[in-house]
Amino acid sequence: MIDIAFARMELPKSGALALLLGEDEAHTGLAAALDAALAGGFTRALAAADFKGKRGQSAVLLAPGAGLDRVVAIGIGKSDELTAHHAETAGATAVAALMKHETAAIAGDGLAAPMLAHAALGARLRTYRFDKYRTTLKEEQKPKLADLTILSDDSAAARTAYAPLAALAAGVELTRDLVSEPANILTPEEMADRAKSLKSLGVKVEIFDRRDMEKLGFGALLGVAMGSACEPRMVVMQWLGASEPEPTGKSGKKTKPIPKDPVVFVGKGVTFDTGGISIKPAAGMEDMKWDMAGAGTVIGLMAALAGRKARVDAVGLVGLVENMPSGTAQRPGDIVKSASGQTIEVLNTDAEGRLVLADVLWYAQNRFKPRFMVDLATLTGAIIVALGHENAGLFANNDDLANRLIEAGTYTGETVWRMPLGEAYDKQINCDIADMKNLGNGRAGGAVTAAQFLQRFVNKTPWAHLDIAGMAWASKDGAVAPKGATGYGVRLLDRLVAAHYEQ
């Protein structure tokens, strides 16, 4: 993580500089000062590069003079159309061009402090690296950038606006760290232990082991865990940012706050998914270390909400298992009894994530009586066939919740696309010898029948399911994320809460 500072708008005397420039706008302020220092060289260089300031355009000046090693111009389009997401993308693009310099600055003449704060967020997210296991990196392979300064006409306001975004960035980074870890390190028990770190932020953390879940009747989740030597866990995290302790009795002592109508988030945490007895092909199986990305997102989200002291009662629950083949593993054709009392015929042990979520969703809606529930899971390959790597699949039983998620996705750039639910799909998971089966009729509509399965465990609670199989990991650099774990969902759900559910 780089250090980000905020300072007044003045031309740096050394290092590298990125300027965020609007489309076809006259160069004033710092841009004009730079052009004067370069005897008109800045304007001539931009003209030679046909740089107009359109969104996505960039131009680089190497060793331009005035003590600077590099100057980068980043187009942000028309200033009156600039959004937070555009500002974040511009900041990320800028910092990607500055990584080979030890010190750098980003400036935006005339940009409001909140937009510069979002540019800082984009820059921080783009500089993420997971290289803790790389011991032979050559010096030239390491990023040099250590100090980044955001230059603003009102640096104090920009610094204030960035504070909650820094907490959000920390949540995204936590999620990326978890998703990036290899499965021999991040077992269910280890992941639960890492969730304990949220206690330092004021989050109440409860960890349930196998015996606890047996008492709760978690037959579906525990069935998935049968084949692994690694013990399963469920973690319940509560951030009570809206509830205040109330005096009780004559003593006037305050009781611990209890969440009232909390918002609830549930994550699938299969720390490694071989497919179980219905084993996956060997090619690409190493990617299944990130089959816990839904749970990783929920943990990162709870860290973000607590870190910025969100005025909301929020509960995050994650079911953590490893799905392995062995002599004790669940078999195709087994029937398990879920916490809801409903029975499930397990036709394919690789359709395991829905079994984990079934018990946790049931427990969450019974215990917390939530305002809504959103679950996240790398649930199906079918959603990648349908939507590629551009949108998460959104399924919901409530239009208001669905529309708010779509709106939050547009705002953050973590977009979703609503998919159908319906009786015709639901009939496909009816079963002759149990209440339901864990697969539909063949491969067609597989993401939908998986969502229909989950819907049987939420009753009438407003609920949305996000299938993030195509979004949790990226094979190439994205707008604000280097390739690898994206941390998808943390910013999306933080925005959902901030826009609609905080007091």
Reported as a single tens digit per residue, the pLDDT across 201-233 is: 999 999 999 999 999 999 999 999 999 999 999
Model confidence pLDDT, tens digit, residues 132-176: 998 888 887 777 898 999 999 999 999 999 999 999 999 999 999
Residue range 411-434: average pLDDT? 97
pLDDT at 258: 74
Model confidence pLDDT, tens digit, residues 385-394: 999 999 999 9
pLDDT at residue 284 is higher than 90:
yes
CATH of the domain at 41: 3.40.220.10
Residue 273 lies in a domain: yes
Strands 16-21 and 247-248, bridge-based pairing = unpaired
What percent of the chain shows pLDDT beyond 70?
97
> 129 catalytic, yes or no?
no
What burial letters (b/e) apply to 201-226, b meaning 16+ CB within 10 Å?
bebebebbebeebeebbbbbbbbbbb
What percent of the chain shows pLDDT beyond 90?
89
CATH of the domain at 193: 3.40.630.10
| Domain final residue, candidates 156, 191, 208 | 156
Which of the residues 159, 268, 354, 437 is marked catalytic? 354
- The verdict on 276 and 363 lying in the same domain is yes
CB 140 within 8 A of CB 112: no
- The verdict on 171 and 65 lying in the same domain is no
Q: What is the pTM of this model?
A: 0.95
Number of domains in the chain: 2
CB 224 within 8 A of CB 352: yes
- The verdict on 138 and 173 lying in the same domain is no
C-alpha 388/C-alpha 149 separation (Å) is 36
- The verdict on 277 and 310 lying in the same domain is yes
Q: Which residue has the higher pLDDT, 18 or 244?
A: 18
- The verdict on 207 and 257 lying in the same domain is yes
Which of the residues 280, 331, 337, 367 is marked catalytic? 280
Q: How confident is the model at residue 259 (pLDDT cuts 50, 70, 90)?
A: confident
Q: How confident is the model at residue 251 (pLDDT cuts 50, 70, 90)?
A: low
- The verdict on 108 and 187 lying in the same domain is no
pLDDT at 245: 58
Query: What are the structure tokens assigned to 151, written together?
Result: 């230059």
- The verdict on 305 and 370 lying in the same domain is yes
Model confidence pLDDT, tens digit, residues 124-134: 999 999 989 98
Model confidence pLDDT, tens digit, residues 317-376: 999 999 999 999 999 999 999 999 999 999 999 999 999 999 999 999 999 999 999 999
Q: Kindly tell me the burial class for residue 407, based on how many C-beta atoms sit within 10 Å of its own C-beta (0-12, 13-18, 19 or more).
A: middle
C-alpha 466/C-alpha 405 separation (Å) is 10
pLDDT at 67: 92
Residue 99 lies in a domain: yes
Mean residue pLDDT across the chain: 95
pLDDT at 27: 83
- The verdict on 143 and 188 lying in the same domain is no
Residue 161 lies in a domain: no
Domain extent, residue 350, equals: 166-500
C-alpha 317/C-alpha 205 separation (Å) is 10
In 3D space, the residue among 216, 257, 218 whose CA is nearest the CA of residue 239 turns out to be: 257
| Domain final residue, candidates 108, 125, 156 | 156
Q: How confident is the model at residue 32 (pLDDT cuts 50, 70, 90)?
A: very high
Residue 436 lies in a domain: yes
pLDDT at 244: 65
- The verdict on 385 and 275 lying in the same domain is yes
- The verdict on 72 and 148 lying in the same domain is yes
C-alpha 142/C-alpha 145 separation (Å) is 9
Written as one letter, the residue type at 290 is W
- The verdict on 496 and 386 lying in the same domain is yes
Q: How confident is the model at residue 463 (pLDDT cuts 50, 70, 90)?
A: very high
Query: What are the structure tokens assigned to 324, written together?
Result: 């392995």
Residue 267 lies in a domain: yes
pLDDT at residue 255 is higher than 70:
no
Q: Which residues, in sequence order, are CB contacts of 81 under 8 Å at separation 6+?
A: none
Task: Give the lowest-confidence range in 60-69, 84-93, 248-257.
Answer: 248-257
pLDDT at residue 249 is higher than 60:
no
Distance of CA 413 to the CA centre of its chain: 11
Query: What are the structure tokens assigned to 234, written together?
Result: 């469920």
Residue 62 lies in a domain: yes
| Domain final residue, candidates 129, 156, 183 | 156
Look at residue 255 and give its three-state secondary structure: coil
pLDDT at 141: 77
Give the DSSP H or E segment for 208. strand 204-208
Task: Annotate 425-492 with DSSP letters as a single string.
Answer: HHHTT--SSSSEESS-SSSTTHHHHHHHHHHTTSTTS-EEEEE-TTTSEESS--SS--SEE--TTHHH
C-alpha 338/C-alpha 218 separation (Å) is 6
> 280 catalytic, yes or no?
yes
CB 443 within 8 A of CB 413: no
Residue 312 lies in a domain: yes
In 3D space, the residue among 115, 51, 60 whose CA is nearest the CA of residue 89 turns out to be: 115
- The verdict on 52 and 186 lying in the same domain is no
Residue 479 lies in a domain: yes
